[in-house]
Structures are given as structure tokens and as C-alpha cells.
Structure 1
């Protein structure tokens, strides 16, 4: 489907042919040359740096090599002209019938247009959200959830075998705080007036947990010591919070394949197993770390610690695996968790984390490299903050959550499709302004509306066509047989070129792990479509339906159908439902 790859193959074959003819040296390696859209569309349809990349191997000046290659490239089917520019760039123009053929390809593939096999079934584990199970999800979690979910959908479209995973951090001090907070709500359920001390969770979301504790245990824990109730109430509260989180995710359209528990991992000896594995390979030693950079903490003192040789694998310093009390560090648990994911068969690991985990990137990459002996790759995507506003003013915190705006509140206000699309209008590591007024206005400045409006406009024409041409067969197969040579206006050709680029865009976005590229592409496609629509308001010859010209009508409907399919294909990658009507 990616015709730029086809041109790469054609030019590689030309290099081999010229080598065989003695015009170029033997053994030329064309793998590094690129074929891509020119930066300036006026320069052509395909640009290649072949001469610039191969000139040293060819022992020729780049421009001389470009001229030699251009003669052969001009012989490729559908090539109408080849120009050599600057020091040796080659710009290629393609005939209109090439784009008409690509339009037929879109119609034949439907929303599968853009599907790729570059993943070749490689197993990828995408871990995302992984919010502490201490309360409802907030809007920051929502951004990580959308980035991770869209990335998983994108990788699946590109031919990877994807596992979507959630890691439950249920073994840290924060779940003890949760249990103590829930216990107070339990007492409150019996009519006791409580005060939430600083350091506990004040949100009203724990009120029903306290009531459920009363319903389940009666007064069993009312006068009990903390040591008696803590573990049981902790487990109960974690389950309640995970139910709440799953509900929030479901409303956002997010489902995971696997939920992994840190507590179970530790209890099943996962941490000890990972440490033993590193120890066997000589990657652990007892040593003393340097004091923290900057102002030394007053309570800091040099002491022997069990350390992982992280610096041998790209980290800045070696990292401790045991605390002073002998228990494992958070880092040790995370090493064990990633070791577990690798052993389950994932050779590519992706973690989507909050921006506050920036200092964790190097050490985790070092750990994965060490544990997998370089066989697994880890990519960590940091999701930056979301600034919630309404008409430019910051939105006040949620009373229910106690400290933040819940994701559910945002979804209820603007719908999950708006949340998902807007969360991907910036790269994950850039801060995002989410203004309720702007994301719901019906204008070109609201990208989710602008893209959905293009899709809905296509379907409005289809409905009108059904009224005016009762016997017209609008199936993709029938429309592909229309006389597409009638589509020769530059606006129509621009749309076809852009739709033909969709497979390349999918592959590039998947390889770079950047799902936000999809929203950019969809906005550009919608913009070109709306431009053609607007031209038709002034030039009747460019309108989509012509009562006196059925062949032109069918050709235009074929173009519209393709546009709607590609937009739908992109929205589905984002996890957004394509809309046929906007109300």
C-alpha cells in the first residue's frame, strides 16, 4: 500500500541494473536512500535523496549521479517528469491515472486502507495508565490512557501483536494510606463525625467504600487495632478503587488485556528472582553511593547498599535495590515487573508514564537492557500535564475527588470522543491546554469538530444522492468502476495524493510511537476536503452531484467515499467513532 516503498524498490533495482551494466560499482547498498513527499508540493510527488546517499559509494558527484539515475527513473510506469534539484535531489511527478488507481485502492480496502505488515507480528507490550489504586482517575491519567490506547491501536494496524497492560501499584505506602482513609469512612457510615487528617485522602469517593465496608463486615472493625484491620481493609479498598478505575476507563473507551499486581509479583518472589538473575550475571555489588547532587540532606550518611550496575548500561549512576530495612526498593519491583513482561514473550516494551517520571527513564532502560541481554527494547513515553480551562479561566478542583478534576467529569461534559481526539492534538511530551469552550465550539479552530464535520459532510452528500439518484449503486465496488479521469481539478488531485500518503503515515507513526501524527494528518485531509467543498459553492462544475451528468456524479461520489473511509480509518485508530451526522 505504501507507494513510497514501491519507489524505493524501483530505484534500488535501477542501482543494481546500472551496476550490472558497469555504469556504477558493484556492491552498491541503497538501503539508506529515502523516498518521501517533497517538502514543497510544487516540486513534485516523490522526492529521493538517492544520489546524495550513494555518491560516495559510486565515487561520483551527487548531481552527476542524480542525472544518471533520473534517466532510468523516468522510465518507471506513471512517471511524467523527473527533475534534478540543488546539489542532487531528485523530484518525481506522477500521472493523474496513478492517483486514480490509488483512489480505487482506497475503495477496495475500505477502513483497512493503511493496514501494514511492518510489525511482522512482533510482540509489543504497551503498559499505560497504571494509576495508583487510591481514587478515581484524573484528567492527567486520561491523557496517558488515550496516548497508550491510541498507540496500541496504531501498532495493531501496522501489523504488531499488541498486549495492552495495566500495572497495579498495590504494594506501596500509598495503599496503606488508602486503607486508613477508607477506615475513617467506615466509622462515618456508623454515624460517627470524622475529620480527615492531613496526609489521608479526603475525597468523597471513599464514602460509598465506607458504607460497603459496613455492609460487608458490620461492626467487626469499629474498635479494632489497626494491625488487625489494615490488611483486610486494604485489599477491600484496592478492589473497590480498581472497579472505579475500570469504570472510568470503560467510559473513555479503554480496555486492557492484562492487569498485573505489584503485590502478587513481590509475594510470588518476582523481585528476588530478578535480583538473583542479575547477581548471576555479575551485575550486582555492595557499595556506597555518592551523596545526592546539590544540597546534601541532613540525614544523609554513607552506608553500604546492594547496587545494580546501571551505569554500565547507559544510566548516570548505579542504583540501589534494597532499602535500609532489607526490603526491596521501588526500582527493584519495577525491574522485576519488566523482567516478567520480557519473559512472557514481549521483545518490545512501551511504558506510558506521567511527566514526573522523567528521572526514571535512564535507569529503567538500563535495567531492561541488562535483564534482556539487549534482546528487548524499552520506550518510555512521558505524558505532560493537561491544563483544564473554560473560556481561558482555570477550572476549579472537584469536591468529589478532593484534590483534582476527575476524568469522568470531563468526559460527561464533552464526550469521550472529544477527550480522546483533543488529548492527541499535541505530542505526548508537550503540555496541553484543554479548554471546554474551545473543544466544543463548531469552528475550524476546533480540530475534532473540523474532522468530524468533513466525515459528516460526505455522508450528507450520500443521503442527498440516494434521494436524487434512486437507482445509483453506491457500493465501493461500483464507484471504483466510474470514469475517474473526470477527476482532474487540482483540488481533487490534492485529495487523492493525500489519501495515498495514509499508509506511509501509519508506518511512520507506528515506528516512531507517535499517535498524535494521526490527528495532524486528519486535520490536513479535512482541510483539503472543506476547501474543495467551498470551491464548489462558487464553481458549480465542482459540485458533487450533477443531475445531467451521471458519470461525473459517480466519479465525485467515489472521491467522497474514499475521503470518508480514510477519515474513518484514522478516527478508528484514535478510538473515536466517525460521525455521519452532527447535531
Structure 2
């Protein structure tokens, strides 16, 4: 158990004792009680908001409740002092031995350090990427793919059971266009001169091998036939090939989904009818007309149409939403609601990673999930902003429709999987991200990928140099030789389990990248002190005992960096080339 978790449990035990003694009322809600590092390190090692959070329920003021807590906190192991600050925050100082013991825990737990059971084995479905199956992955898909995959890893580390899902939109008009584009390439493979690819078709060369495969399988059977004879078959065959291509491209980033769910199969299974019946039974759908759009000019014509509407406004949406068109076909929202019901049948929580262009549909889908599951399942939607591509400061323009987009595969081949994955997490998902091919491979502090990897590589080089210097790492290290500055690095490293839990619960994997950059910066600062004072170096050949203590410190930091990079899907570099 990590230090923060241990003191949280100790505080919980104190509150139990105070309840039993009648010093505070029983049954106070403690979910918001936290033990965390104080904002200002000079205030102490730990801080708790317990008095602030519980005072109202206890019928007292925070400082008075803090005074009740102080004696019991002061009696905890390794506590040297406890102080009440401001309106009722409690600051705690620990012995240096407490931090030495935490370093031992880091080293002993190894890869397990930072794992948590906060998820309580609850089931989470994370749906991400879900790009239309009309071509290879491009950089427009990359960020959502990495954010979703890193979040899935985080949730698993926090004790959730995770299903990683990709929704294949294979029931829309874009798939008809894909099949027609493949048919052109099929005719081309048979020797026909198809000329310029018509406007509105997919012009990419990635359909050339698909056309060739269709020609090899069917010969000229469908060359001159009307599309009623081949459209459904070509859709099936071409979508299957696109999914293979998508799986291959995602695998380059070490991304592998558990489920590829088909929209066409969903509709054919009657799931949409089931969702509609669910809502009808609750009197949540009706036949009606949409309001005239406010964006329309008063002079523009508007013809109201009778539609089947879902009462999404009862669940926080701006207005009711159509589920079925006047011609009896399902709206995209109708199918989407049914799809979320399908996911909810196997999950306690749903998380969708969507592009920012889907912002307008968030409320209606959340409303549908709440209505269909009677509030049992929650849906969190994380919107991911675009990635702008640059090369040495010059913007790169791309257009999927024109066939001149930058593919994910090309980017991974040029800069590597680890660089791509790390960079996609260096900003909050809901803010724009710039990806410059020159800067992401730059060896500088301004490049977070390099900066964190360099910290780990430095630690690995220390271990190699220690062996060359004849300093055995097998001999026990006297951690009492570590000074206050060195223990300060342990204190920062000890926050890692809290970062993992917080990032998992908030569904924000970028927090891990931010934390690793700060930890790397602290390691580099400690390393650089040896430039001015050689006695401050990690490795001193004439002082093997001190060197062993500092090497154990470096080894612990290296373990944290590896663990954090692993959650991001990034391998830790052992040397920089």
C-alpha cells in the first residue's frame, strides 16, 4: 500500500473511533475526504480536508473539528507534527524515515506500484476511434485513438474491468460510396480505363488492392451489371478489407480493441426496435414535429414533418430529438441510442472518446442512456480536439476526400510509436494540439518526449557505470545517507499512485504525461547539481555507500517513470540514440 493510501486508511480509522466514542455523529459522508500533498511544500508533507468536509454534517465549524482530530493524527506512526491552517485544513509533517520506507516500497512493488482497487472491479466500456470504415487511419483519428487506449490502460490499473470497443459505422451512405469506389477499382483491375475518379468517390490508392482482390474472386461477373446486383456484396467485402486495414494501422500504435461492433448488424438484429419499445413503455416517445430551427431566416421556407420524437428534454437535452423519420427509417440518433443500450447491458459505466465535431450530440445520447437504463449506467463523453500537423513550422494541409491525407502509418514509420503516443497526451484532449515532425524528435527540454525518456536513460546509464566502477547494487543500501533534497524527489515520486487514481476517475490520461514531465524535471535538476559540486553526483567511486543510496533513489524514480510510460503505452528508453 502506498503512503497516501496508508494515511488515508489511518485517517478513516480515526474517524471510526471518533464516531464510536460519540465525538462526531455516525454516518457522516466521507467520500470527499482526501489526504494529499499540500499546495505549498513548506506547509508540510501531507494535508487533509477532513475537518472542512465533515464539519457541517457534524454540526460544528472546521477548526473546532480539526482540534478534535489533532491528537489522534499526532499519535500516528512517523508523524512529527500536525497543524491547523486557514479555515480548517490540517497539515501533517512526517519523519524522514517515512519517505525512506516509501522508497523501499516503490522498489519492492516494482511494476505493481501505483496499481489501485478504487474501481472495485466495476465494468467500464470505453469506445474510441470508431472512424468510418472508408480508408486507412489518418492523423485526424490518431489523437482519439491514443487518448482512448491510454484511458483504458489507466482504468485497468485503477481496478476497473475494461472493454475496449470500436463502433463500425457500416450502415450509412458513406459505405455505399465506398462500395461504388471499390467497384471502379474492380473494373480497373479487369483492364478498363476508368479515367479520373468521379467527384464524391474515394480516390485513394488504398482501394486499388481491394479492386484487384474483387477481380480475382469474381472475375468480370459484376463488371457491367447494375449496382443492385453487386452493391450489397461489395459493401460487405470492402468494409471487411477496410477493417483489416484499420486493425493493422492501430496495431502500429499497439492499440487493440476487444470488440468491433457493426451498426448494420445492430439494425438487422432488431436492437433499435427494442430500444424504441423500451422508451415507449416509459411514455418517452411520441409523434410530433420539430420546432423551426432558430438559425433559419424568417423568410426561409420551413415545412414541418411528423416524426417519432424522444423526450430527451426531460433528461437535460435542449429539445426533443427524432428517432425515426417520416419514411419509417431510423435516424442516426435512433441507431446510436440502441447501440448504447447494447453496450450498457454489459457495463456499469460508458465512456466515449469523440471528435470535437460531435459536441452537439452529447446531451441527446447521454439523455438516451439515462432513460434506457433508468439511470443505472452513466455515460461520459470526452471530446478530442484536432491535431494540426507541421513540418519545421510549416503547416501540412490534408484532405481525406481528395486522397492527400497524412496516414497514421506514415507518421509512426517516421517518428516512432512512442513519440506519437506520448505527444498525443501532452495536452488536455479538449484543447488543440500541434504536432511538428521536426520538434517531436528534437533533443531538448522543450520536447517532453525526449525530456522524460532522457531521464530514464540517464538512470539506466548510472546502473551500467556503477557496474563498471565495481559498485555492487546487490549490497544493502543505507538510505539514511540521502539528504533532504534527495528525499524531496521521493516525495514527488510517492504522488504517482494518487495521479493514477485521479487520472482514471476523471478520465484524463494527460495527467500522467504532465506528472512524468515534472518528475523528469526534478530528476534532471538533482542530476545537474553535480555539475557545480562533484560531491553531489549520483555516482562517487570513492564513496560506494553513498553511491548505493543514491543509485537506489534513481532506481526508484526509474521504476515510476517506466510504470507511468507503460500506462501511456510508451516503452521506456534505456539509452538515447
State the TM-score, normalized to the length of structure 2. Answer: 0.95
Distance 1:342 1:238 in 2: 26
Q: Does residue 1:312 correspond to 2:307, yes or no?
A: no
Matches within 5 A, 1:250-399: 250-295=251-296, 298=300, 300-343=302-345, 345-397=346-398
Higher relative contact order (Cα pairs below 8 Å, separated by 6+ residues)? 1
Match runs of 1:406-555 below 5 Å: 406-469=407-470, 472-474=472-474, 481-490=476-485, 492-555=486-549
Q: Secondary structure at the match of 1:293?
A: coil
CA 1:505–1:336 in structure 2 vs 1: closer, same or farther (change >3 Å)?
same
- Greater shift, 81-90 or 11-20, is seen at 11-20
Are the equivalent residues in 2 in contact too, given 1:204–1:401 (CA < 8 A)? no
Give me the whole-angstrom Cα distance separating, in 2, the residues matched to 1:12 and 1:342: 34
What does residue 82 of structure 2 align with? Answer: 82
Alpha-carbon distance in structure 2 between the residues aligned to 1:372 and 1:398? 40
Following the alignment from structure 1 to structure 2, what is the Cα–Cα distance between the partners of residues 508 and 374? 24
Q: Work out the CA distance in 1 between the residues paired with 2:461 and 2:488.
A: 22
Q: 3-state DSSP class of the match of 2:294?
A: coil
Superposed CA RMSD: 2.0
Q: Distance in 2 between matches of 1:19 and 1:232?
A: 69
Matches within 5 A, 1:80-159: 80-159=80-159
- Aligned to 2:324, the other structure's residue is in SS state coil
Deviations 1:186-222 (A, max 9, x none): 2222141422222111222222222222222221222
After superposing the two structures, state which structure 1 stretch, 521-530 or 84-93, moved more.
Answer: 84-93
1:188 corresponds to: 188
Q: Which whole-Å CA distance do the structure 1 matches of 2:325 and 2:25 have between them? A: 62
Q: Please state if 1:50 is matched with 2:55.
A: no
Measure the CA separation in 2 of the matches of 1:319 and 1:205: 38
Instruction: Quote the Cα distance in structure 2 between the aligned partners of 1:400 and 1:456.
Output: 43
Quickly say closer, same or farther: Cα 1:53–1:176, change in 2 above 3 A: same
Partners in 2 of 1:193 and 1:497 — Cα distance? 67
When structure 1 is superposed on structure 2, of 123-132 and 323-332 the one drifting more is 323-332
Question: For 2:438, what is the secondary structure of its paired residue?
Answer: helix
Change (3 A) 1:5 1:473: closer
Q: Is the 8 A contact 1:397 1:403 kept in 2?
A: yes
Preserved CA contact (<8 Å) 1:338 1:368 = yes
Whole-angstrom CA distance in 2 between matches of 1:26 and 1:223:
81
- Give TM-score, length-normalised by structure 1: 0.94
- After TM superposition, the structure 1 stretch with the greater mean CA deviation from structure 2, 217-226 or 144-153, is 217-226
Q: Distance in 2 between matches of 1:28 and 1:236?
A: 60
Distance 1:23 1:259, change over 3 A: closer
Shift of 1:338: 1.0
The 10-residue stretch of structure 1 (58-67 or 157-166) with the greater mean CA deviation from structure 2: 58-67
For 1:328 and 1:252, the matched residues in 2 are separated by 35
Cα distance change, pair 501–362 in 1 and its aligned pair in 2 (3 A): same
Structure 1: give runs of 5+ residues left out of the alignment.
Answer: none
Q: Does 1:70 align with 2:65?
A: no
In structure 2, list runs of 5 or more residues that go unmatched.
none
Question: Displacement, 1:123?
Answer: 0.8
Between stretches 88-97 and 157-166, larger displacement belongs to: 88-97
Q: Distance in 2 between matches of 1:431 and 1:517?
A: 16
Contact 1:138 1:407 in 2 (8 A): yes
